[in-house]
Amino acid sequence: MACQVREPLPCAQCNARCCRYMAIKVDTPRTADDYDDVRWYLLHRDVRVLVDTDGIWYVAFDTPCERIGKDGRCLQYDVRPQICRDYPKGNPCEATGTLFVHDFNTVDEFDGWLQRQRAATEA
């Protein structure tokens, strides 16, 4: 009987990117106050604002999971939270695809994008 060759886990390809931050959905900004809130988020250290391919906005906190090992694997895989078990069902994995169309790291990046958006709608 031939040995079955297993494909490497995607986590090994990207060093478990999805386990190195957590993201919380936020309302899509629509007003000047909403955009100012996004700017405020970005003024904080280790915080990013993401927009996924469906247009859903998130505030991401760059902080690794306490249960991730040096090799990028979960140290308690068998008892990991349900959100981890469900990921990435129905979504592209960060090792193999792009989840976010925007990944704002600074206020300047966001302001530049916002100016381009406003110019495009005025044209």
Residue 41 in any domain: the answer is yes
> Does position 1 have pLDDT exceeding 90, yes or no?
no
Residue 4 in any domain: the answer is no
Residue 2 in any domain: the answer is no
Token look-up 């904080």 returns 44
Residue 5 in any domain: the answer is no
CB atoms closer than 10 angstroms to residue 48: 22
Instruction: For 85-106, write each residue's pLDDT tens digit.
Output: 887 665 667 777 778 999 999 9
Structural domain for 77, as ranges = 10-122
Q: What is the pTM of this model?
A: 0.82
Residue 36's pLDDT is 97
Instruction: For 15-34, write each residue's pLDDT tens digit.
Output: 788 899 999 999 999 999 99
Cβ contacts of residue 30 below 8 Å, gap of 6+? none
Residue 89 in any domain: the answer is yes
Domain count across the chain: 1
Q: Which of 65, 97, 56 is nearest to 84 (CA)?
A: 65
Residue 30 in any domain: the answer is yes
Residue 32 in any domain: the answer is yes
